[in-house]
Structure 1
Amino acid sequence: MILITGATGHYGATAINSLLQKGIKSRQISALVRNLEKSEDLRNKGVNIKLGDYSGYESLVAAFEGTETLLFISGTEISTRLKQHENVVRAAKKAGIQHIVYTSFQRRNETDTSPLGLLAHSHLQTEKMIKESGLRYTILKNNLYMDYIPFFLGDKFLETGYIYLPAANGKISPALRSEYAEATASILANPSAHINKAYDFTNVEAYDYREIATFISEITGKDVQYRAPTADEFTQTLVNSGVPMEEIGLMTQFSMAQAQGELDVASTDLENLLGRKPTTLKAYLETIYH
C-alpha cells in the first residue's frame, strides 16, 4: 500500500494521478486528507481515503496502518512544521511503514547564514529524524517550482519594462511542480530501487533573471530588462507599493538565496526519473506570456 499525504494539494493529487497512469491499482493507493469534503475526486477514482492531520499523532498512526510506502509531503505551517514532521516520522515508525519518500528542498548552504535558514531548519531536522528512524528513505531535494516564477516577476513588469529582484547574477534551476510529482510517482511505484538515496530535483539548466528577461522579450516582442536592487532597496520599494510583508519576505529570501548560488544546481536526476527532459523555462514562459 502506498499512502500520499497532502493528497488534495497539487503535488499529492498529481502524484496519485501519475501512479494510476503507471498502472498502480487505485485500491493500492491511500490518500491522507484533513477535510473529507475535499476528497470526493479521489474517492471517485477508487483511492482509499484516510483522515488525519500532521498535528494529530494518533490520527496519523491510525491512518498509516497497513501502509508500506509513504509519500511525506512537507507541511506549510512554518512555525509548527518541525513538531508536525516529528509526529509524521514517529507515527510512520509506530505503524510499521517501511519506506518514506520526503519532499525536502534544494540547498548548498546548510548553516544559519543561508537566506533560507528559517525555512531550511525544519527540513534539515526532518531529514535527520527520518535517517535516524531506521526506516528506508528517499530524500527529494526540490528546487523552486517553475510555477512560482510569475509570482517573483510580478504583474507590472511588462508595463514598467523591467524585472526587479535582488537576485544579482545568481542562477536558479526550476522545474514544473507536476513534473516533480510525476518523478516522485516513479519512485513510489518501485521504492526498492531508491533505498536511502537523495535526488536533486532540478532542471538540467540554470538561469539568471537577465536570461529570463531575454526570454520574455523574445516571447512578447517587448523590451524587458533586469534590475537588481539591494535587499533593502527592494523591501522599501515594495513596502511603498503596498505589498504585504509576508510576500516581500518570501521574495527577498529566495532572491538572496539565488544571489548566493543556493539554487544553482543543475542535475539530470529529474530527467532520469521522468524518462525525458523536463519542460524548459522558456517553454513554460511561452505558455504564460505568449
Structure 2
Amino acid sequence: MILVTGATGQLGSAVIQQLLKHVPASQIAAFVRDQTKADHLLNQGVTLRVGSYDDTTSLEAAMPGMDTVLLIAGTDEENRVRQHQNVVDAARKAGVRRLAYTSRALSDPATLVNQLMNGHFQTEALIKASGLPYTLFQNSLYMDAIPQFLGGNAIFERGINVPAGQGRVALALRSEMGEAIANALATPAEGNRTYRLTGSTAYSFEDIAAALTSLTGKPVTYTPADPIQFKSQLIGRGLPAVMAQRIVGFITDIANGQEADVTTDLETLLGRKPTSLTDGLRLLYTL
C-alpha cells in the first residue's frame, strides 16, 4: 500500500494519476484534509484517509498497513518542520517500510537568503534520524510557476523585470515531477535514495524572454531589477513587507545560483527527456 499525503494538491494529484498506471487503485491511499474535494479519487477506487499534519490522531490512524508513505511538503512554511515531524513520528510508530519526501534541489542550503527553504533540509534530517528507510525527491523550481512568478500575460507588454541577475534555473513541469515520483514509488525500494529532479537544462531569464519572443513574435525583454526597488514595488502593489522580503530572498537565491544544478535523475525516471523550455511555455501560456 502507498499513502500519498496532500493528495488533492497539484503535485499529489499528478503522483496518484501516474501511480494508477502502475498499481491497482486498491493499493493506493490518499491523505486529504477535505473529503469533499476527493470524490474523484474515491470514484477511481483510491482509499481515503482524512486528516491534517497538525492532527496526530488522524495521522496515526492513516499509517497502519502502509508500506510506503509519500510526504508532500506542507505549505505552512512557518510550521512546516513541526508538522512534518508529526508525519515522521506516525510513520515510525506504524512501522512504515519507506518514507518519501518532496524536498528542494538547492545548491547550498548553508548560504540561502530565503531561510524558510531550510525547513526542507531540516525535514530531511528528521527523516534520516528516524531510522526509517527513505527516498528523498529534491525538486527544482516548477516551470508552471513562471507565469505567476513573472506577472502573467503582463510581461508581453512590460517585459520581465525581477532581481535575478544572470541566475539560471533548471525548470521542469510539475506534472513530469509527479510522474517521475510515482515511477520511483511504484518500484520496490532498494535502500535509501535521494533523487534530484531537475530539468535537463538550466535557463536564465533572458532565455525565458527569448523563448516567449520566439513563440509570440512579440518582443519580450528581460531587465534585471534592483532588489530594493523591486521590494518597494511589491509593497506598493499591496504585499506585506514580510512577504515582499521573502519573494526578494527567493529571487536573490536564483541570482546566486541556488537553482542552477542539473542532473539526469528526472530524465531517468521518466524514460525520456523532460519537456523543453519552449514547449513548456507554449503549454503554460496556451500559445
Asked whether the two chains share a fold, i.e. TM above 0.5, the reply is yes
CA offsets, 1:142-167, max 9 Å, x none?
1101100111221322112x210000
Within 5 A, what are the aligned runs for 1:1-290? 1-22=1-22, 24-111=23-110, 113-120=111-118, 122-155=119-152, 156-160=154-158, 162-193=159-190, 195-243=191-239, 245=241, 248-287=244-283, 288=285, 290=287
Q: Please say if residues 212 and 220 of structure 2, whose CA atoms lie closer than 8 Å, have aligned partners that are also in contact.
A: yes
| CA–CA distance in structure 2, aligned partners of residues 109 and 14 of structure 1 | 28
Q: Please say if residues 61 and 91 of structure 1, whose CA atoms lie closer than 8 Å, have aligned partners that are also in contact.
A: yes
| CA–CA distance in structure 2, aligned partners of residues 277 and 59 of structure 1 | 39
Percent of counterpart pairs with the same letter? Answer: 42
Number of aligned residue pairs: give it: 285
Whichever residue aligns with residue 135 of structure 1, its letter is L
- SS of residue in 1 equivalent to 2:30: strand
Shift in Å, 1:243 = 4.9
Q: Please say if residues 78 and 116 of structure 2, whose CA atoms lie closer than 8 Å, have aligned partners that are also in contact.
A: no
Shift in Å, 1:244 = 5.5
Shift in Å, 1:72 = 0.7
Shift in Å, 1:237 = 2.4
| CA–CA distance in structure 2, aligned partners of residues 125 and 39 of structure 1 | 30
Shift in Å, 1:35 = 1.2
Shift in Å, 1:254 = 2.3
Shift in Å, 1:116 = 2.4
CA offsets, 1:64-87, max 9 Å, x none?
111010111010001111110110
Shift in Å, 1:235 = 1.0
- SS of residue in 2 equivalent to 1:78: coil
Q: Please say if residues 62 and 95 of structure 1, whose CA atoms lie closer than 8 Å, have aligned partners that are also in contact.
A: no
| CA–CA distance in structure 2, aligned partners of residues 48 and 225 of structure 1 | 48
| CA–CA distance in structure 2, aligned partners of residues 149 and 198 of structure 1 | 26
TM-score, structure 2 length as denominator?
Answer: 0.95
Q: Please say if residues 106 and 142 of structure 1, whose CA atoms lie closer than 8 Å, have aligned partners that are also in contact.
A: yes
- SS of residue in 1 equivalent to 2:231: helix
Whichever residue aligns with residue 114 of structure 2, its letter is L
Question: Structure 2: which 5+ runs fail to align?
Answer: none
Closer/same/farther in 2, CA of residues 145 and 246 from structure 1, 3 Å limit: farther
- SS of residue in 2 equivalent to 1:8: coil
- SS of residue in 2 equivalent to 1:21: coil
Whichever residue aligns with residue 157 of structure 1, its letter is I
CA offsets, 1:92-133, max 9 Å, x none?
00011010110001111222x41222222x211111111111
Q: Please say if residues 216 and 289 of structure 1, whose CA atoms lie closer than 8 Å, have aligned partners that are also in contact.
A: no
RMSD of aligned alpha carbons: 1.4
- SS of residue in 1 equivalent to 2:180: helix
Q: Please say if residues 98 and 136 of structure 1, whose CA atoms lie closer than 8 Å, have aligned partners that are also in contact.
A: yes
CA offsets, 1:200-238, max 9 Å, x none?
110000010111111111111111111112210111123
